[in-house]
Amino acid sequence: MAKRFIYSPCQSVHLKFGEASYDLLTDFLFNLNKRNKENLDSLSQCSGDFKEKRLMEFIFLITKELGLDPLVGYHAIELLRRFMVKHLEDLFTTPTPQGAAADEPQSYEDVVFDKLKAKFPLIVFSCIQLASKLSLHSHMINNNTAVRFLQSMGHSVSKQTVLEAELMVLKGLGFRLNATNPLMYVEILLEVLGHNEPFIPVERLYHLCHHVLQFVSLQRTTIYQSLLMTTTQCLSPPREQREKFETVTEDCMLLAVGVIAVATFILCVRKWEQVVRELSHITGISTKSISDFAYVTLMHIAGASST
C-alpha cells in the first residue's frame, strides 16, 4: 500500500498513500461524487451490460497474469462496457444493405453477433491494453507483449491486427478514456477515512477491500438481487421496483462504502459501527443503506466459504 499512488479522473497527481492533504482529498472526493451522480442521472437501458461474471473474471485473470495493477482491470471493464454499448448501437442503427436479408439465411442480428464473436477477445484485450497505458502505477502493455499473450491463448494475431483493434476501440470511445471505476472510489474513501480516523487500520483494510470488491463484482447479480429483496422486504419485487433499483446497482459510491464496511467487519469488528458512521458522514449515504449492503455481502461470503 505504501507504494500506491492516488489518481483522480480529472487530475494526475503523483502522491503516495497517506501523503495527500485534506484539501486535495476533498477535491478528489467531490469530483468522484459529481461523476457518480452524473452517471446515475444518465443511466441507459444497457448500463448493467457487459458485467457478467465470466467476462469480469476473464479480465481479472488477464490483468493478474500480466502483472498489472488491479485498477487496470476495473478500468478496462468500464472501457469495454462503454465501447460495446456504443459499437452495438452503431451496428444495429446502420441500415441493412439492400438484398442482404434475402441473400443471408441468418438474420442481420445473427450476422453481427457472429462477426463480433470472433473479434471479442481482441476487443477485450484492447481495453485492457488501453487501461494499462493510462495507469500511473502499472507497466504498459506494448504490442509485442499483446501479440505474444494473445497467441499463447490460441488467437492468431499480428501487430497490425492488435493496432487496428486498439484504434477501433479508441475511435468507438471518441478518444475519451477517462472513466471512474469502483476501486477508485474505494481507494479515495479509504484515504479520507484514514485522515478523519487515524486509528482505523486503513492500510490493512485496503488489501482486504481488494478481495471483497472482486467478490462483489463476480457475484454482482446474486448480491444485488438479495439486496433488492432485503430493502423491499419482498421475495419477488414488482417490475417497477426492479427498474428503480437500477440506480442502486450502478451506484459506485454505495458499492465502495459497502466494500469498506464488509472489510472492516471481517478485519476489526469492534470498529465496525465507528467506520460505518464515518462513511455515512463522508458520503451522505445512510448507515442503514451501508449496513444492508454489508449484511447481504457478508451472508454471501459466508455461504461461499461453507460450500
Q: What is the dihedral of CA 226, 231, 237, 239, to 10 degrees?
A: -100
Indicate the length of the chain as a whole number.
Answer: 307
Query: So what's the pLDDT on residue 303?
Result: 82
Q: How far is CA 112 from the centre of its chain?
A: 26
The C-alpha cell 499473450 sits at 149
Contact (CB, 8 A) for 205 and 190: yes
Q: What is the pLDDT of residues 187-234, one digit of tens each?
A: 999 999 998 888 889 989 999 999 999 999 999 999 999 999 998 888
Beta strands in the chain (DSSP E): none
pLDDT(38) > 70: yes
Question: Is 212:44 a contact under the CB 8 Å cutoff?
Answer: no
CA distances from 71 to 110, 150, 214, 233 (A): 34, 21, 11, 35
Residue 8: predicted pLDDT = 43
Domains detected in the chain: 51-172 (1.10.472.10), 182-306 (no CATH)
Residue 19 has pLDDT above 70, yes or no: no
What predicted TM-score, i.e. pTM, was given to this entire model? 0.86
Residue 50 is placed in which grid cell?
A: 457487459
Whole-angstrom Cα Rg for the chain: 21
**CA 55 to mean position of chain CA atoms:** 12
